[in-house]
């Protein structure tokens, strides 16, 4: 499933392709993705100026001139591609789209933005002006991990009352918005913290942050920043220090540990039991 860096990469691509331009036409090649499209979906989009494309956790939000917001989620397999109309029109109509190209936005600049989703767990809907803050999911999200309001005191406040494991606490979207399974594993390894450790042990009894919490906040920011920067590169699992590397030697210099896999909250956790405490 795409995580925050993958979604941020898509946001930047959509921002370049759509911001400041109008949506000339919308083509729906099916009636639904994970959910059905709103009945007025096409009408409310066509002719609208896209003010910009934002991201909240793993959600994409295209802000329209009308005040509406196009809310999009990639699901497990969704992605966008951007082609130019001139190139697009040179291809015979029946060959322009893949079987899993479900939504097409024709942009006034000549770009064509295509949403492809083989498994159809993604979705798109429209929010009226003012609905973003009261949306059932968006309204409950914690701070963005790369935003200024995500800092050591804020995280200490959340973790001080958590009796769950550190891995489970960090995966809670009410604690940190958009931080997913892969990058929780990566950040914990970088910060030398065990995913099994009780979350509240990173604070004192009075809720003050312990030094390890500084390392954790720094690690979260670093792994996400690096992952966003590396999105246009290949490399697969070798991009990661611990994720999906069960049985391999710990990459930390001087550590003789072996990466272990366990299951927490129904998700795989990868860590080094030697250097992560």
Distance of CA 139 to CAs 56, 58, 136, 143, 275, Å?
Answer: 10, 14, 6, 11, 37
* Mean predicted confidence (pLDDT) in 1-29: 95
263 or 88: which carries more pLDDT confidence? 263
User: Is 226 assigned a catalytic role?
Assistant: no
Let me know whether 51 and 13 are in one domain. yes
What are the pLDDT digits (tens) for 52-81?
Answer: 999 999 999 999 999 999 999 999 999 999
User: Is 2 assigned a catalytic role?
Assistant: yes
**Sign of the torsion angle spanned by Cα atoms 263, 265, 269, 275:** negative
Let me know whether 131 and 168 are in one domain. no
Let me know whether 9 and 100 are in one domain. yes
| pLDDT at 32 exceeding the cut of 80 | yes
The CATH code of the domain that includes 59 is 3.20.190.10
Of the residues 140, 168, 202, the one at which a domain ends: 140
Let me know whether 18 and 123 are in one domain. yes
Task: Give the list of residues 6+ apart from residue 235 with CB closer than 8 angstroms, or none.
Answer: none
What are the pLDDT digits (tens) for 115-171?
Answer: 999 999 999 999 999 899 899 889 999 999 999 999 999 999 999 999 999 999 999
What are the pLDDT digits (tens) for 240-270?
Answer: 999 999 999 999 999 999 999 999 999 999 9
* Confidence band of 238 (pLDDT split at 50, 70, 90): low
Let me know whether 136 and 158 are in one domain. no
User: Is 58 assigned a catalytic role?
Assistant: yes
Let me know whether 22 and 104 are in one domain. yes
The residue from 3, 8, 63, 158 that is catalytic is: 3
The CATH code of the domain that includes 224 is 1.10.8.50
The residue from 192, 197, 198, 267 that is catalytic is: 267
Let me know whether 170 and 103 are in one domain. no
The residue from 11, 13, 58, 241 that is catalytic is: 58
The pLDDT assigned to 96 comes to 80
The pLDDT assigned to 93 comes to 61
Alpha helices in the chain (DSSP H): 4-18, 41-45, 85-89, 152-159, 166-171, 181-190, 211-229
* Mean predicted confidence (pLDDT) in 232-244: 74
Is 224 a domain residue?
yes
Is 219 a domain residue?
yes
Q: How many domains does the chain have?
A: 2
Cα separation, 104 vs 135, whole angstroms = 25
Of the residues 114, 140, 166, the one at which a domain ends: 140
Cα separation, 32 vs 27, whole angstroms = 12
Is 276 a domain residue?
no
What are the pLDDT digits (tens) for 178-206?
Answer: 999 999 999 999 999 999 999 999 999 99
Is 147 a domain residue?
no
| pLDDT at 90 exceeding the cut of 80 | no
Q: What is the DSSP letter of 65?
A: T
Q: Which region among 3-7, 107-111, 230-234 has the lowest average model confidence (pLDDT)?
A: 230-234
Is 228 a domain residue?
yes
Cα separation, 188 vs 199, whole angstroms = 12
User: Is 94 assigned a catalytic role?
Assistant: no
Let me know whether 232 and 106 are in one domain. no
* Confidence band of 235 (pLDDT split at 50, 70, 90): very low
Let me know whether 91 and 201 are in one domain. no
Domain that holds residue 25: 4-140
pTM (predicted TM-score): 0.92
Let me know whether 12 and 134 are in one domain. yes
Let me know whether 8 and 116 are in one domain. yes
């Amino acid at each position: 499933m795409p995580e925050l860096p993958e979604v941020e990469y898509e946001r930047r691509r959509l921002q370049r392709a759509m911001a400041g331009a109008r949506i000339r036409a919308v083509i729906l090649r099916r009636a639904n993705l994970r959910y059905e499209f709103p009945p007025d979906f096409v009408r409310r989009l066509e002719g609208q100026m896209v003010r910009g494309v934002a991201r909240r956790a793993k959600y994409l939000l295209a802000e329209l001139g009308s005040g509406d917001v196009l809310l999009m989620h990639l699901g497990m397999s969704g992605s966008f591609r951007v082609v130019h109309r001139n190139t697009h029109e040179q291809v015979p109509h029946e060959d322009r789209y893949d079987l899993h190209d479900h939504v097409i936005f024709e942009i006034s600049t000549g770009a064509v933005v295509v949403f492809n989703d083989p498994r159809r767990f993604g979705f798109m809907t429209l929010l009226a002006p003012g609905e973003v803050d009261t949306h059932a999911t968006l309204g409950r999200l914690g701070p963005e991990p790369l935003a200024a309001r995500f800092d050591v005191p804020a995280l200490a406040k959340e973790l001080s009352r958590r009796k769950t494991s550190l891995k489970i606490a960090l995966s809670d979207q009410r604690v940190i918005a958009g931080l997913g399974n892969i990058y929780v594993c990566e950040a914990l390894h970088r910060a030398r913290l065990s995913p099994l450790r009780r979350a509240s042990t990173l604070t004192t009894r009075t809720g003050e942050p312990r030094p390890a919490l500084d390392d954790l906040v720094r690690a979260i920011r670093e792994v996400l920043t690096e992952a966003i920067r590396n999105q246009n590169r290949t490399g697969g699992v070798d991009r990661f220090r611990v994720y999906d590397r069960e049985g391999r030697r710990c990459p930390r210099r001087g550590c003789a540990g072996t990466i272990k896999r366990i299951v927490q909250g129904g998700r795989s956790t990868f860590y080094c039991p030697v250097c992560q405490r």
